[in-house]
Chains A and B, each alone.
Chain A
Amino acid sequence: MALAVVAGCSSGGHHKPALHGELTIGVLAPMSGADAALGRDLVNGASLAAAEVNDGSGLLGHRVRLAVQDDGCTPGTATQAASRLVQAKVVGVVGGVCNASTQAAVAALAGAAAPTLVTSADADTLASTSRPSTFLVNGTVYQQGLAALHWIAYRSAQRVAVVADSSPQAAELSGVVARGIDVPLAFRQTVRAGQDLGQVATATLRPRPDCVYWAGSAQDGGRLLRDLRGMGYRGRFMASSPSDSPEFVAAAGNQAAEGAFITTPARPDLLPGAAKWAARYRARYQQPPGRAAMQAYDAVRALMQAVRQAGDTAPRAVADNLLQLRGFTTFMGELRFAPDHTLSDDNHVIATVRKGAITLASTLRTD
């Protein structure tokens, strides 16, 4: 598969220093198949970051170009794509949407020690001490569980019920929350496929919780909330990231959904500080940016910041500086990596339903 090259285009019209030579950043994204739209979003976000630096003084005086590889969201294709990026001697790689394909890609890239910033995939296993050049700019599933715990704490819940569907992600999330709460766990249940949610709601309310946490699909989450409200439940309801969807509100109904909380990775339209950037993106690409675009934009910028700090493109120097980013901010605030290469303060936010729309409740940040 050919290497697609995207160079950030100058907007022109103003004096800028001449750039000498090129530095190439690899981009891994699904450019075909069911996730192609996500891939285009990701590539556009990365391209915007490159264009902005090329409009300025470049990166160490060089023009930045992107080498885009289609990972197809499949492990085999991703491995081949990663190998081609290694051969292209990229400064680093950003991207990765699907967990399985991203796992394969980072394994292939780790051998070459190419600094890799995973933008959208969220598997806990992506960050590993055996891959010191891999960093995650998206919060992991485990971190989403922590975000839920912290918000439940903020709301001073006293008795918590945890209900989850049988998906692996829901199982992990419900486990993190059930094990982590400091107040009594009033109820916990895993919902089987096809199980009557009305019965689940009845059982959930029996121990009189004041907070119900749902991990699972948007539709079942909405239905469960509808049933709970129908039975007179007035306490808090929080759902995991799949419920960051109109489908959740539709299944619950506007009235029942009102005030429900959702843990979700930040997206541009939830962050007021991203509005101007989103406008720039829209003007350039004739469509609003999605989450993948914002994550790729930040990942390219973080990688370039590390190169700038290092004053060098040597993989080890760049990786070292990714662990020591100085004053690097995103629309969420300062971005720092934890010793395990996940985000120190991850990008999960708390959204809430207001009059049928999903809006920001909290970024969970002190800054």
Chain B
Amino acid sequence: MAIAKVLLVDDEIPFVETMTKRLTKRDLDITPAFSGNEALKRLKENDNIEVVILDVKMPGMDGIEALQEIRKRYPLVEVIMLTGHATVESAIDGMKRGAFDYLMKPCDIDHLISKVSEAAAKKRQHENKIIEARMKEITGRRV
């Protein structure tokens, strides 16, 4: 089984393609997307995506807007912001709006994987807690 199911969003197609190859090789299940809108579409299609790697600066819907949408629609999905240096502030802004973390381009692949793992773990933990809560609820009802 893959380490995590990841949606990789960046408007730079070669970057997405290469990263997809490299990350897939490192046991990540990657779904590529090239814009904010496409990312939302992919999330809608695949409800098992755990982590979104989101570029901050994109034409059209940018990373921050996409982040807000994602957090609104899929609160359990963790988002890692990916940024060029010029948008460090917006990355911080993203953190405040509920992103899991941010990374600077070009980033170390291993570092990225560890972040993704953490994010996935956090997501699963959340999910587990929810399941537990539900179970408690259900068991509580039974009692």
A and B associate: no
Query: Interface of B with A (CB < 8 Å)?
Result: none
